[in-house]
Amino acid sequence: MEYDYLIVGSGLFGSVFAREMTDKGKKCLVIERRDHIGGNVYTKEDHGINVHMYGAHIFHTDNKEVWEYVNKYADFNRFTNSPIANYKGELYNLPFNMNTFHEMWGIKTPQEAVEIIESQKAEANITEPKNLEEQAISLVGKDIYEKLVKGYTEKQWGRKCSELPAFIIKRLPVRLIYDNNYFNDLYQGIPIGGYTQIIEKLLDGIDVKINCDFFDDKEKWMNVADKVIFTGMIDQFYDYCYGELEYRGLKFETELKDTDNYQGNAVVNYTDAETPFTRIIEHKHFESAESDVTIITHEYPQTWKRGMEAYYPVNNEANNNLFAKYQKLADKEDKVIFGGRLGLYKYYNMDKIIEEALALVDAESN
């Protein structure tokens, strides 16, 4: 074999694995279907602004090892994600905290907030939530659910909250302090100069082919290396033999605006059902870029169909049961290892993807 490992996909999982195994003396080839490396963390500089081409990516983790790992490849700023929710022109701070409650009810103390939420929960009288709607109301009450959860969630998943399983929202954080920091993680930030530089450094000195679709000649690619690390859709790898897993697609509409500040925040969520997009991202605010213009992106969730980019696995019971069938096939493989969000059919944040890749490196090295 020409290579020890063929890595299908140049996102974080594949790139971290390729770097680490190369450093251990293994010969790796990375192939990428798109015309650029980086997967969904790909950023592109435009007018001095690093544009997150596949949606906002904010790095956050409590894992010191992972934080130190990514900081080897880029310097990170201390960006704090503090999104704004726009409900029919009403603006609220996220996550749900005392600022949110003051904006919604005009109250000032934690005790007042608790009393309102508890009274709404009691009025709903939900003992065993049967769906996402009941779960959300039983956690945060009707007002917050109606204005800040319902419309956004239904757009995101393409179905009514009453038809979504309760476990999708296991908990909704309610903070009884005035704190708009969306994440609880100790380490948070954006790489200064964008994410693409990280992938470029990870893949430095490694054979990489872009515009190269594994499925155009699967037999050929299966025979160029001793092992294959596959980060694409596991059901596609097996030719959908048990049927299609469900994914959510996204459409991005990015535009240049002749103003230096369009919305005053990196992320504004549109939580009403009538607005077709879920959020507007203003990229310059991730790194406080100095520019006379700004670049914004409208993000539209879509029903996924073959040929579209798959972004989110839909981990309801039916899809998880179907994935279990594919997992049994994967468990029998001695040459192919599945990884990443699509290969493992699981929603992973970036830090968890890196953890998984490093764990696989350890497993392959022992």
pLDDT tens-digit readout, 8-28: 999 999 999 999 999 999 999
Confidence of residue 171 (pLDDT cuts 50, 70, 90): confident
Strands 3-8 and 28-31: parallel
Query: Contact, 271 vs 321, CB < 8 A?
Result: no
Give mean pLDDT, residues 95-113. Answer: 98
Residue 51 has pLDDT above 90, yes or no: yes
Tens digit of each residue's pLDDT (9 = 90 or more) over 306-351: 999 999 999 888 999 999 999 999 999 999 999 999 999 999 999 9
Residue 167 has pLDDT above 90, yes or no: no
Which element (helix H / strand E) includes 198? Answer: helix 196-202
Put simply, whether the predicted model's pTM sits higher than 0.85 gets the answer: yes
Residue with tokens 């490849």: 73
What is the structure's pLDDT at 176? 97
The more confident residue out of 71 and 366 is 71
Partners of 299 in beta bridges: 252, 279
Q: How far apart are CA 301 and CA 311, in angstroms?
A: 10
Confidence of residue 168 (pLDDT cuts 50, 70, 90): confident
Confidence of residue 72 (pLDDT cuts 50, 70, 90): very high
Tens digit of each residue's pLDDT (9 = 90 or more) over 205-227: 999 999 999 999 999 999 999 99
Give mean pLDDT, residues 72-97. Answer: 97
Q: How far apart are CA 42 and CA 197, in angstroms?
A: 9
What is the structure's pLDDT at 134? 95
Residue 173 has pLDDT above 90, yes or no: no
In the structure encoding, which two tokens stand for residue 46, read together? Answer: 């435009």
Residue 7 has pLDDT above 80, yes or no: yes
Q: What is the mean pLDDT of the chain?
A: 96
Confidence of residue 366 (pLDDT cuts 50, 70, 90): confident
Find out whether the peptide bond into 313 is cis, omega within 30 degrees of 0: no
Lowest mean pLDDT of 87-91, 110-114, 160-164, 279-283, name the range. Answer: 160-164
**Radius of gyration, CA atoms only, the chain:** 22
What is the structure's pLDDT at 188? 98
